[in-house]
Structure 1
Amino acid sequence: MNNTTDALSQISNILTKWYIENKRDLPWREITDPYKIWISEIILQQTRVNQGMSYYLRFIERFPTVKTLAVADEDEVLKYWQGLGYYTRARNLHKAAKKIVSDFEGEFPKLHADILKLAGIGVYTAAAICSFAYNQPYAVVDGNVYRVLSRLFGIETPIDTGSGQKEFAELAQNLLPTQQPGLHNQAIMEFGALQCTPGLPDCVKCPLNTFCKSLQNNNINNLPIKSQKTKVTSRYFNYLFIEYQGNTFIQKRTQKDVWQNLWEFPLIESNHLLTDKELIDNQFSNSLFEKVNNITISKISNPMKHVLSHRVIYAQFITISLAELPTGLSELKQIPISELDNFAVSRLMELFLETLTK
């Protein structure tokens, strides 16, 4: 198939017709509020629709406007994001909301260039907001769109290269109609999510099967192509859940690392999960409990595995009961155990806290 204007127009029309008949009913659709569209797009960057729905509704209920988000405390924003992961997204939302209030009088900007300057907004998100909220002709290219275009046009250029991203961006823009670009963008993304799926797509029922190059070449399951595999590293976290007269101790992760600005128990990171003897002999542990004799390790949780995009974290939670308060804990925040739910923590911490209530 030649990429003629006629053929591209046909494909767009078929996609739009399919979308109108098959689209899911989602709360961020059929709206033009750029703020709500922005929130939905950021949530869906690393989260499946069925998981993100409740978080979106809860987040919008608490922060219904840019201004309410901008004036909120970051800890509260992170708490409402808890469970979604990739917390940089929440911190960038908060930072961008503050910029919108300070630089745009609280009104979400309309110019593509201005939207791109906001923290956490890249080419895809800017295109989504501009097309969905303002019906501006910017083509979206996300994972679903890469898959649809690579299969439909038989493109074997790796999508994780500069040349590949440029090729797909140009093709997506050429496919975009000048009329109702937002509808087209919604359609091609939904088509990738529901019809042209990663595994075992139903090509027989596909309305674009007569156009599909990869179907003709029996190459569906090999596209799209990535040139590199993500290197995954393992890390080992030993958390100290310290009990003292109904209280416990937490600290905020301030380094530029996973879960930045979230709260956690004192942490010993090591090259393996430590035994009880290794915990007692550990230098950090000794500094916390210096000159205290009555330290009891009452429980060590089963190992937990938490998979992130570039790393796998193996963790265990060590419950330590104290009869007296050591001075080494003075740098930590002491709170009642019953108030742990008030603090924004990682999903890994959240899973452990759930065991305390069982």
Structure 2
Amino acid sequence: MDRRSLIKHAGIAGVLAAGAAPAVHAQAAIRWRLASSFPKALDTIYGAAEVFAKKVGEMSGGKFSVSVHPGGELMPAFGVVDGVQEGTVECAHTAPYYFFGKDDTFALDCAIPFGLNSRQMTAWMYEGNGMKLMREFYEGYNIVNFPMGNTGAQMGGWYRKEIKSLADIQGLKMRIGGFAGKVLTTMGGVPQNIPGGEIYQALEKGTIDATEWVGPYDDQKLGFNKVAPNYYYPGWWEGGPQLSLYINNKAYAALSPENKAIVECAAAIAHTTMQAKYDALNPGALKQLVASGTKVLPFPKAVMDAAFKNSMALYSDISSKNAKWKKIYDDYSAFRKDQNLWFRFTEAQFDRYMQSASL
């Protein structure tokens, strides 16, 4: 008698007696909460967490669910590291450089001025030593990290007045994300760390003189062009800012190998989806902004040169004081050097030609 016939005719009791029952593993449903650092209105950057949650649910057949909560709903936008570290929530989605005040090393998991571009950052994390080194660092915060999104190179922000020289940076009150504020300070600017959902009001009221966020698509949604007409490029402090999924180490350790693989794969899908959306949506938004009167301007070379020089000096200074930073930055900077040598002959040359060609 074959197995199907045995089950049909003998019933469960007979099957058990015959020792022919298939293995049944009852697995309790998993319910996680994810705290985002971003407002729900930003469908690209906030949306990466929703992509992650959707894929976790699909790959687990609904047995593993993740609810996504915008900044301020479960905890402050900048409170997610503490929330994950303490186990208040199982996971969070954020920009690591927001937390440079805890340790400058956080910024290396996101972006530093004149750092890696998005492709180089992904290469360092997945095929270089980035993931290993950052995992070692995050052990001190009870966090397991995964790359989960990248915006690509960003714009340099919105300014009430034009930036014609270094003198225009003096006293400039600018909302600028995390670590880049250190460099702005050396140039005479006054950095402000303000969550995305609060920037427009600050710019409108004149509490700040300028702001950077991401790029045309998000910036247009936030309406910055209505109160600051000058849009500068490039965002020298964010050549390839990576977002991260932070998971409480105990919550992660409690997962089965299958569910750990689901988390890893879902984060990777969200990682690529975010930049794909930005690259697809930014061109149209930029055209609309220009049509509405926005002036798109390059930073003066003197500003770029001063920012670069001061950034390199800052990294040297931090390396002399922070062993955790130095260990990771030494590897990061060596990887950056080799990547720029390679990109110089391939990506950069190809891009320059294509952007000058008449299509």
TM-score (norm 1): 0.25
Which structure has the highest helix share of the two?
Answer: 2
TM-score (norm 2): 0.25
Q: Give the structure, 1 or 2, with the largest relative contact order (CA under 8 Å, sep 6 or more).
A: 2
